[in-house]
Amino acid sequence: METLTLPKTNWKDLTHELGQKFAERAAQVDKSGEFVDENYAELKANRFFSAMIPEEFGGGGISHREMGEIIKTIATYCGSTALAFSMHQHLVAAAVWKYKTKGVGAEMLQKVAVNQLVLISTGARDWLDSNGEMKKVDGGYLLSGKKHFASQSIGGDIAVTSAPYLDEVLHFAVPMTAKGVTVLDDWHVMGMRATGSHTILFDEVFIPEASISVKRPKGEFHMVWNVVLTVALPLIMSAYVGIAEQAKEIALTIGRKYQRNQPHMPYMIGKMNNTLLSAQTQWEAMFSLANNFDFSPSAIQTSDILSFKTNIADATIQTVTEAMEAIGGQSFYTKNTLERLFRDVQAAQFHPLPKWDQHAFSGKILLEHPAK
């Protein structure tokens, strides 16, 4: 396999440089609901989509934690860009773990790096049962069904998805140019409006047998989730921690000059900071568990990752709420960035697993795995 050598990149400085441009467009794309095409074009031009891929395949070779920092930083400028970008990166992360631990998947990683391909996750609808229909035909299957909440589906190249067949769930990748693939115009939502998270419609799309990467029992928890969730959720939640950090900065900037709440301002700011610290420290804990891809998948670790996700979602939503309380009614106007941050951060609670599902899942895992 040919090695592609690229010059070193100062990812931190470049992220801030691009982020300033993203911030200039954020209000308009939020208002229009249009996908962040310009931002993606600039991320592609600067090879951000392969930043976490090993250098020997033409990637940037940065760590899992460094990618989390990039996503968090982008979120301080444009939450939609950060969240959409995280969906690609979490699929790359799972592939990198697979390569580092099992030595497979090098060809796919190189294709992403060379072509700056954008991977689309449909994981929100691919939990234990998955959805859709697979019909067996010569050489493969015909896939039909809808996958909702497919972030960046309007601007992506390959959908990484799954569907049930008999008593199994099959996992595979589908080019968005394949016959029978349509992106529906249905992403009209309260927040994260520019993520392009439209529904993908599959109408008898041919899936070659050779494309099936995983077969697992339908309705049962499979170890694949121990890998995917451990590397994915830290990256996804990076977007929401970034939003919360930006909310804090806005509250501080305005709060220093805001007279109406002045007697209570120190208390309100201090309380908000406590809430944000809770999100930040648990976010760091997620990356510690993932340990830059050096971890052994386990149900207990997955339970902890999911618990951290719920706690971070609650804390980031609360941080933005407390930032709004600190500066009062002015935060209710659309001209104040806090108003958009408040709408965007609400999406944190809807990533797998939703709070009550997570509580039940974690409780079940803990009861089934006695402490040593």
Q: Specify the amino acid at residue 260.
A: R
pLDDT(106) > 90: yes
119-121 and 158-165 beta bridge pairing? parallel
CA-based nearest residue to 277, from 233, 244, 325: 244
pLDDT at 2 over 60: no
Rounded Cα–Cα distance for residues 320 and 52 (Å): 30
Residue 262's pLDDT band (boundaries 50, 70, 90)? Answer: confident
Amino acid at 146: K
Which CATH homologous superfamily contains domain 11-117? Answer: Acyl-CoA dehydrogenase/oxidase, N-terminal domain (1.10.540.10)
Task: Note the CATH architecture for domain 123-217.
Answer: Beta Barrel (2.40)
> Amino acid letter at 132?
G
Whether 185 has a pLDDT exceeding 80, the answer reads yes
Angle between helical axes of 11-32 and 37-45 (0-180°, round to 10): 160
What does the mean pLDDT of the chain come to?
95
- Cα separations in angstroms, 158 against 108, 200, 233, 250: 11, 11, 20, 37
Look at residue 3 and tell me whether its pLDDT is greater than 60.
no
Looking only at the bridges linking them, the beta strands covering 168-175 and 181-183 are: unpaired
CATH 1.10.540.10 intervals, the chain: 11-117
Residue 65 has pLDDT above 70, yes or no: yes
Q: Check residue 166 and give left, alpha or beta (phi > 0: left; psi -120 to 50: alpha).
A: left
Residue of 16, 85, 21, 96 lying closest to 52 (CA atoms): 96
- In CATH, the number for domain 224-368 is 1.20.140.10
The answer to whether residue 5 scores a pLDDT higher than 70 is: no
Tens digit of pLDDT for each residue in 335-358?
Answer: 999 999 999 999 999 999 999 999
Pairwise CA distance, residues 215 & 197, whole Å: 26
Residue type, 346: Q
Pairing, β 168-175 against β 158-165: antiparallel
pLDDT band at residue 371, thresholds of 50, 70 and 90? low
pTM of the entire predicted model:
0.96
Mean of pLDDT values over 51-75: 97
In the chain, which residues fall in CATH 2.40.110.10? Answer: 123-217
Question: What are residue 146's DSSP bridge partners?
Answer: 201
- List the one residue out of 199, 155, 187, 49 whose CA is nearest residue 109: 49
Structure tokens belonging to residue 73 = 């930083």
pLDDT above 90: residue 372: no
Range 84-109 burial, b when 16+ CB lie within 10 A, else e: bbbbbbbbbbbbbbbbeeeeebbebb
For range 67-78, the mean pLDDT: 98
- Dist CA 171 CA 156 (whole Å): 18
* The pLDDT of residue 261 is above 80: no
For residues 118 and 175, what is the distance between their CA atoms, to the nearest angstrom?
10
Mean of the pLDDT values across residues 190-219? Answer: 96
